[in-house]
Amino acid sequence: MNSQKQIDGIGRQGRRMQLSGAMAQSANLDARSSHLNYAYISIAFLLVYGDIVKRILPGQLAQAALYGVAAVILLDLLLKGVPRRSGVWSASGRFTGWLLIFIASLYLLQFLTSFSAPLLIAAINTIYICTPLAYAYVILRFHPEFDMGRLGAFVAVLMVPQHIVGGIQYFVSGEFMVSMDYTESGGVIERDLFELGSFFRYPALFVTSDRYSTMSLIQVYLALFILFVGRMPGMLYTLLIGASIGAGCFGLFVSGARSRIVLVAVTFASTVFVALRPARREGRGRITRAVITILGVFFLVLVVASSFLDMDSIASSSLFKFFALSVERSDFAERFWEGIDHSLPPDDVTWFGKGLGMGVNPKFEPDGRPGEFAIMAMWIESGLFWTPLMLIGFLGVIWQLTEATIRTFVSGDAKAHFLYLMLLLIWIWALLAGLQAGFDLSMGIAQCIALGCVMNGAYEMRSPRNPRLGFGRVS
């Protein structure tokens, strides 16, 4: 009996020491994260307002300035980071890190060994892809304390003027603060509404409506990151997060971004389904509050919309009709299979391709950005030798995200399921629709930082009894 009591006492003492060590480690991460406020602010300004530089400087000079700023921030993060020991780095994080190095190395090797493409075009293409990948690796390897919640808070505040301008453009005057300096249309895109005519996608302060929709999607993701992973918020804080989610959804509809709206809708639906399934009780209060927040935001949007517009006018709106006709015509499935069809090697594919940046549509001049339909562009640019290797790298990351998404679905971990699933859909969308969709400056840096955060095991090291609840396992 005494020996059993001694064993129980040793076990309780061991658990207390383990909990104390985990909480101390979590507090250390929080303390280190507070010293990165400069990085959160710098990255938020770069993501939200970087595109405005294109209204001031010529195209390539503006791109050089933006990626120069991104490189300075990245270098500062690298110099002030602390390399992680293998014992505190998750197996999935280590493998993802090697995949990122593998992909970046392939682009660098092609740039150094292929002379068929103009040097500037190949350099722009390499920087375009490698910069976001470098952010993901630096977060993975050097900054387990990086707090996406704080970054999301800064982005939400900086997006307020953007949404105000977007609302004025949509409801009052489509010409409000639209600049023609960068594009002849001022960035406003006229979208074909099939046989019913067309409707406009507004850009707010951004150069194009695609960038406005990208930042709105990022805002939604970061707001839910705060809700799922940050400290357990009070009711007022939860309402503010809900307002940020609603503002991001508003931006998606003003910009008329069909693909991005579908990404968010699918992720929301899957997350709510996982949250409502019978599962373990751990974190159930947070998940319930998150689901209530998501549903409450949609209800509030409907109430506000019905105050200004009757339901008939909502149902007859251009974007609603566009979605309805897209579903009726199976346009989403057609677009998906179109991406699959364009993933096969073309008849005129060569061993080493035409060079990086040369896989764009023949109607356009190459400018260094990746071409539409990423895999087809890879075959054209990189040929039979490099493309299979590149696909191994990209599909490896997709597999890591797929495995994590399935694991969280089965376990009922709704918050982690949302964070993984959104990134998974972005990477699949980028491969099928074009790497430009997932790796342009704003989307690329934001989603790769998120990839580093969810795969680096930083939240996994936090005790389940700590208010900052994590997910996954450490190897």
Write out the chain's pLDDT in tens, 475 residues: 555 544 455 555 554 544 444 444 444 545 455 568 888 999 999 999 988 888 788 777 888 899 999 999 999 999 888 776 654 567 788 899 999 999 999 999 999 987 777 888 888 889 999 999 999 999 988 888 888 888 998 999 999 999 999 989 888 888 888 877 767 777 887 777 666 666 777 888 887 888 899 999 999 999 888 877 765 556 677 778 888 888 998 898 888 878 888 888 889 888 888 877 655 444 455 555 555 555 555 555 555 554 444 444 444 466 666 666 666 665 656 666 666 666 777 777 888 888 887 776 555 566 667 766 678 888 888 888 998 999 999 999 999 999 999 988 888 888 888 889 999 999 998 888 878 888 988 999 999 999 998 887 544 433 333 333 333 333 3
Taking alpha carbons only, the member of 257, 145, 174, 265 closest to residue 211 is: 257
Which pLDDT value is given to residue 364? 59
- Phi-psi sector, 259: left (phi>0), alpha (psi -120 to 50), beta: alpha
Taking alpha carbons only, the member of 78, 77, 231 closest to residue 149 is: 231
Report how far residue 12's alpha carbon sits from residue 278's, in angstroms, rounded to the nearest whole number: 30
Report how far residue 338's alpha carbon sits from residue 301's, in angstroms, rounded to the nearest whole number: 34
Which pLDDT value is given to residue 117? 79
Phi then psi for 433, rounded to 5 degrees?
A: -90, -25
Extract the tokens encoding 195: 């046989």
Which pLDDT value is given to residue 126? 92
Is pTM beyond 0.85 here? no
Identify the burial level of 18 via C-beta atoms within 10 angstroms of its C-beta, where 0-12 means exposed, 13-18 middle and 19 or more buried: exposed
With respect to residue 1, please indicate whether it lies within any of the assigned structural domains: no
Which pLDDT value is given to residue 106? 95
Report how far residue 396's alpha carbon sits from residue 255's, in angstroms, rounded to the nearest whole number: 32
Extract the tokens encoding 217: 């999607």
Residue 442 in contact with residue 127, Cβ under 8 Å?
Answer: no
With respect to residue 420, please indicate whether it lies within any of the assigned structural domains: yes
With respect to residue 6, please indicate whether it lies within any of the assigned structural domains: no
- Centroid of chain to Cα 283: 24
| Tally of residues, the chain | 475
Residue 217 in contact with residue 264, Cβ under 8 Å?
Answer: yes
- Centroid of chain to Cα 437: 11
Which pLDDT value is given to residue 336? 62
Extract the tokens encoding 360: 């764009």
Residue 423 in contact with residue 416, Cβ under 8 Å?
Answer: no
Taking alpha carbons only, the member of 47, 76, 96 closest to residue 453 is: 96
Bridge partners (DSSP) listed for residue 190: 200
With respect to residue 361, please indicate whether it lies within any of the assigned structural domains: yes
SS3 content of the chain, % helix, strand, coil (to 5): 75, 0, 25
Which pLDDT value is given to residue 71? 95
Report how far residue 141's alpha carbon sits from residue 135's, in angstroms, rounded to the nearest whole number: 10
Q: Compute the half-sphere exposure of residue 76: CA atoms within 13 Å on the CB side of its CA.
A: 14
Report how far residue 380's alpha carbon sits from residue 243's, in angstroms, rounded to the nearest whole number: 44
With respect to residue 138, please indicate whether it lies within any of the assigned structural domains: yes
Residue 438 in contact with residue 427, Cβ under 8 Å?
Answer: yes
Report how far residue 385's alpha carbon sits from residue 399's, in angstroms, rounded to the nearest whole number: 22
With respect to residue 14, please indicate whether it lies within any of the assigned structural domains: no
Which pLDDT value is given to residue 375? 80
Number of domains in the chain: 1
Bridge partners (DSSP) listed for residue 292: none
Which pLDDT value is given to residue 27? 47
Place of tokens 């970054």: 151
E strand or H helix that includes residue 189: strand 189-192
Can you give the residue range of the structural domain that contains 52? 22-461
Which pLDDT value is given to residue 318? 64
Q: Output the CA–CA distances (angstroms, integers) from residue 296 to 45, 286, 416, in the order listed.
A: 29, 15, 21
Q: Output the CA–CA distances (angstroms, integers) from residue 469 to 92, 148, 186, 205, in the order listed.
A: 19, 14, 45, 37
Residue 138 in contact with residue 77, Cβ under 8 Å?
Answer: yes
With respect to residue 181, please indicate whether it lies within any of the assigned structural domains: yes
Which residues make Cβ contacts (< 8 Å) with residue 77, sequence separation at least 6?
36, 39, 138, 139, 142, 143
With respect to residue 140, please indicate whether it lies within any of the assigned structural domains: yes
Which residues make Cβ contacts (< 8 Å) with residue 266, sequence separation at least 6?
421, 425
Taking alpha carbons only, the member of 296, 270, 275 closest to residue 286 is: 275
